């Protein structure tokens, strides 16, 4: 379905990003697996993709820091050349993000600034830099959150940053429509990832509480989000743009 196409997935060493990278590769895309610091996790993601017959390569860059995009695109171009691919992209998945705890009374300015630097500023300028190489008919998919629909005061800065991303998505979809490029969000709910392991897996009561958010009385898996991304990346989704695909499992309907 995605054979001959190239995808860049940010934050793809672990969790949801890894599942997205694996799914797009399984569907035939050459996948650039971006990550921030964990070399072992990124290499394992690439190795898993290759063992399944897919193609992928790692790209290291810590978003939200000086020189982040120069490092990312230099690594991207090195990886593309190594795979005899041109510089063009077909699919950009902006998944990388941070999600610190903090309510209205106790979110520190430095935490707020860091959240917006990674979740908004880096995403904006990474996308800006990718646009000249994104082929007409391409796909941009931004991973947001169910917390833009469901009020979670304990994650207010994170939710606000993702709200900004959703405005960016809608506006960019209008702007890129003439090129046939679709721009959409996928909004996960509570997902069983390593990031959530400490509080989610270690306490049956916590798992039950999290599951109760969903209409299915269950906790989502990274593969559930990856499936939504894979749909938006395909030709079948050519008439879907500027919207948010809710992948929260019907949380708090």
pLDDT per residue over 198-237, tens digit each? 767 777 888 888 899 999 999 999 999 999 999 999 999 9
pLDDT digits (tens, 9 = 90+) for 156-167: 999 999 999 999
Is the per-residue pLDDT at 187 higher than 70?
yes
CATH of domain 6-246: 3.40.50.720
112 assigned to active site: no
pLDDT in tens, 38-47: 999 999 999 9
**Across 78-86, average pLDDT:** 98
Three-state secondary structure string covering 26-92: HCCCEEEEEECCCHHHHHHHHHHHHHCCCEEEEEECCCCCCCHHHHHHHHHHHHHHHCCCCCCEEEE
Question: In the prediction, which pLDDT does 194 show?
Answer: 77
pLDDT at 88 exceeding the cut of 80:
yes
Are 189 and 227 in contact by the 8 Å Cβ rule? The answer is no
Which one from 35, 112, 158, 213 is the annotated catalytic residue? 158
- Would the pTM of this model clear 0.95, i.e. be above it? yes
């Amino acid at each position: 379905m995605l054979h001959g196409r190239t995808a860049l997935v940010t934050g793809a060493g672990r969790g949801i990003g890894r599942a997205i990278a694996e799914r797009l590769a399984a569907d035939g895309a050459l996948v650039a697996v971006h990550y921030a610091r964990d070399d072992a996790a990124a290499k394992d993601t690439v190795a898993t993709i290759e063992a399944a017959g897919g193609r992928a390569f790692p790209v290291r860059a810590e978003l939200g820091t000086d020189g982040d995009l120069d490092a990312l695109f230099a690594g991207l171009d090195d990886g593309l050349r190594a795979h005899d691919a041109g510089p063009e992209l077909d699919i950009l998945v902006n998944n990388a993000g941070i999600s610190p705890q903090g309510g209205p009374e106790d979110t520190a300015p430095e935490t707020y600034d860091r959240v917006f630097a990674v979740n908004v500023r880096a995403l904006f300028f990474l996308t800006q830099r990718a646009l000249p190489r994104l082929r007409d008919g391409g796909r941009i998919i931004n991973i947001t959150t169910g917390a833009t629909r469901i009020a979670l005061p304990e994650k207010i800065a994170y939710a606000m940053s993702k709200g900004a991303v959703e405005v960016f998505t809608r506006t960019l979809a209008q702007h890129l429509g003439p090129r046939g490029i679709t721009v959409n969000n996928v909004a996960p709910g509570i997902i069983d990832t390593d990031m959530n392991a400490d509080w989610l897996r270690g306490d049956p009561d916590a798992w039950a509480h999290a599951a109760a958010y969903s209409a299915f009385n269950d906790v989502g898996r990274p593969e559930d989000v990856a499936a939504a991304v894979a749909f938006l990346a395909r030709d079948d989704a050519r008439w879907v743009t500027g919207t948010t695909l809710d992948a929260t499992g019907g949380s708090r309907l």
